[in-house]
């Protein structure tokens, strides 16, 4: 791929099933990538679900939607009039970021408008379908609906794995490039590895400026003693993120660091499940849950923490690990594939996905503040090299390459 720079603007229509006020890795990626491209002279149109708390113009094409009942995902009805509105904006290509109904609209727009399409595979759909216990019959209905909307024959699929792979093929099979944040997801999903053009492009993260004293203000607000050792988790507080494992690991921590606290920052959808997980681990009295918070509060939480515990085994990149590193907080992870693929792997501590081993690693850092600070400083230096501009440059180069390939005489004009 050629390096980016001045040239003909590339107009990209981005399709996402999730955006503000919800906060997750996809939203963070969009909030980073689109402004970086715009600053370089390449406009972006964001197509996403409408929400009453969004500011005017925050979403270029807001769509009426209803809750999907799974995390913060929402459902819309992809219509040809939506495709017409996208066409009025005159995009150069389509970039699909999620596999829901808005992502389906992106795939439909690419087919109808004869545009090249790039797709980013942010999440492990197999793991999420299992974690949220989505019935196989519901997945089958989704597959049929997607095939009908795209005007193609529904692929034969009966087992859960086959149905999800078939849905992936419908949405992403014709993509001119399939972007994955790290190679970790390729180790979990054989279908992705078979795609004819897979590009590894880590998402960039910008550091959050935290004013002096914000860390202590955070502690005071949530009842964490000023000098107590603090373990932090940021992300959806849900089963697929492994929060129950972290709770069990924290019980191990309390055996050697009895004054430690565990703070969980992120959207909480299964309160009863969390209460039971904390009670079973015996750590409810030393655990704080804040719910979803704005970036300034999340930044203060990082500043207040000594260790970042990340028990998930379903993430493709885990941008929160980059955020923690930028804040100088050392991380303990349990996902070997993610650790191996992460550009921050040398600065993260990998343990087996057991409460005993994860808890022991966290406790070691809490008991040795100098070791924790050294690890955190090294992680911050490495994370600073992963500037968002590097991601936008890589994506712009990919966009241009995809457009060049699509403009060849032998390229497909009908998808």
Cα 137 to chain centroid, rounded: 26
* Among candidate residues 267, 258, 318, the one with its CA nearest the CA of residue 123: 318
- pLDDT top residue among 181 and 137: 137
Instruction: Please compute the mean of the pLDDT values over residues 255-280 and round it to a whole number.
Output: 95
- Whole-number Å distance between alpha carbons of 41 and 372: 41
Question: 30, 87, 36: which is closest to 58 by C-alpha?
Answer: 30
63 CA to centre of own chain: 21
Given a cut of 70, whether residue 2 has pLDDT beyond it is no
- Could you report the per-residue pLDDT of 99-118, keeping only the tens digit for each? 889 999 999 999 999 999 99
Spatial distance between the Cα atoms of 26 and 73, rounded to a whole number of angstroms:
11
pLDDT above 70 (res 19): yes
Say which residue, 107 or 28, is predicted with more confidence: 107
The confidence score (pLDDT) of residue 410 equals: 55
* pLDDT tens-digit series, residues 173-207: 889 999 988 777 777 777 887 888 898 888 778 77
Domains and CATH numbers, the chain: 12-204+388-406 (3.40.50.2000), 214-384 (3.40.50.2000)
The three-state secondary structure class of 117 is strand
Residue 92's pLDDT is: 96
Task: For the chain, give the mean pLDDT.
Answer: 89
Report how far residue 118's alpha carbon sits from residue 135's, in angstroms, rounded to the nearest whole number. Answer: 29
Q: Write the CB contacts of 344 (distance below 8 Å, at least 6 apart in sequence).
A: 321, 322, 325, 331, 379, 382, 383, 386
Nearest to 109 by CA among 82, 88, 75, 90: 82
pLDDT band for position 70 (50/70/90)? low
Closest CA to 323 of 364, 286, 350, 295: 295
Q: How far apart are CA 261 and CA 217, in angstroms?
A: 16
Q: What are phi and psi of 295, to 5 degrees?
A: -55, -35
- The pLDDT tens digits of the residues spanning 308-358 come to 999 998 887 788 999 999 999 999 999 998 898 888 888 899 999 999 999
């Amino acid at each position: 791929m050629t390096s980016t720079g001045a040239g003909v603007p590339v107009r990209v229509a981005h399709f996402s099933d999730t955006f503000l006020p919800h906060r997750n890795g996809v939203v963070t990626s969009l909030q980073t990538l689109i402004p970086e491209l715009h600053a370089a002279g390449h406009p972006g149109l964001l197509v996403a679900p409408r929400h009453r708390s969004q500011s005017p113009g925050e979403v270029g094409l807001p769509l009426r939607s209803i809750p999907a009942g799974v995390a913060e995902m929402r459902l819309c009805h992809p219509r040809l009039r939506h495709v017409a509105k996208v066409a009025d904006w005159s995009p150069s290509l389509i970039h699909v970021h999620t596999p829901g109904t808005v992502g389906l609209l992106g795939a439909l727009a690419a087919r109808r408008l004869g545009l090249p399409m790039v797709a980013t595979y942010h999440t492990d759909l197999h793991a999420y379908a299992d974690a949220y216990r989505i019935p196989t019959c519901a997945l089958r209905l989704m597959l049929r609906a997607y095939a009908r909307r795209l005007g193609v024959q529904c692929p034969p699929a009966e087992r859960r794995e086959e149905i999800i792979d078939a849905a992936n093929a419908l949405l992403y099979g014709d993509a001119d490039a399939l972007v994955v944040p790290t190679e970790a997801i390729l180790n979990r999903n054989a279908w992705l590895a078979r795609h004819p053009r897979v590009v590894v492009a880590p998402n960039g993260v910008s550091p959050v400026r935290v004013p002096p004293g914000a860390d202590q203000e955070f502690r005071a607000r949530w009842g964490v003693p000023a000098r107590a050792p603090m373990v932090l988790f940021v992300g959806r507080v849900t089963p697929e993120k492994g929060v129950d494992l972290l709770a069990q690991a924290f019980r191990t921590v309390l055996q050697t660091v009895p004054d430690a606290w565990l703070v969980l920052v992120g959207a909480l959808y299964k309160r009863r499940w969390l209460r039971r997980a904390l009670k079973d681990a015996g750590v409810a009295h030393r655990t704080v849950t804040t719910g979803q918070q704005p970036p300034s509060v999340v930044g203060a939480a990082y500043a207040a923490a000594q260790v970042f515990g990340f028990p998930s085994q379903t993430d493709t990149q885990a941008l929160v690990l980059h955020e923690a590193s930028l804040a100088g907080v050392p991380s303990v992870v349990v996902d070997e594939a993610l650790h191996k693929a992460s550009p921050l792997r040398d600065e993260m501590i990998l343990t087996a996905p057991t409460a005993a081993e994860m808890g022991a690693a966290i406790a070691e850092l809490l008991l040795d503040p100098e070791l924790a600070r050294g690890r955190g400083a090294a992680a911050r230096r490495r994370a600073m090299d992963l500037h968002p501009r590097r991601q936008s440059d890589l994506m712009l180069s990919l966009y241009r390459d995809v457009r060049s390939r699509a403009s060849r005489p032998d390229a497909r004009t009908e998808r």
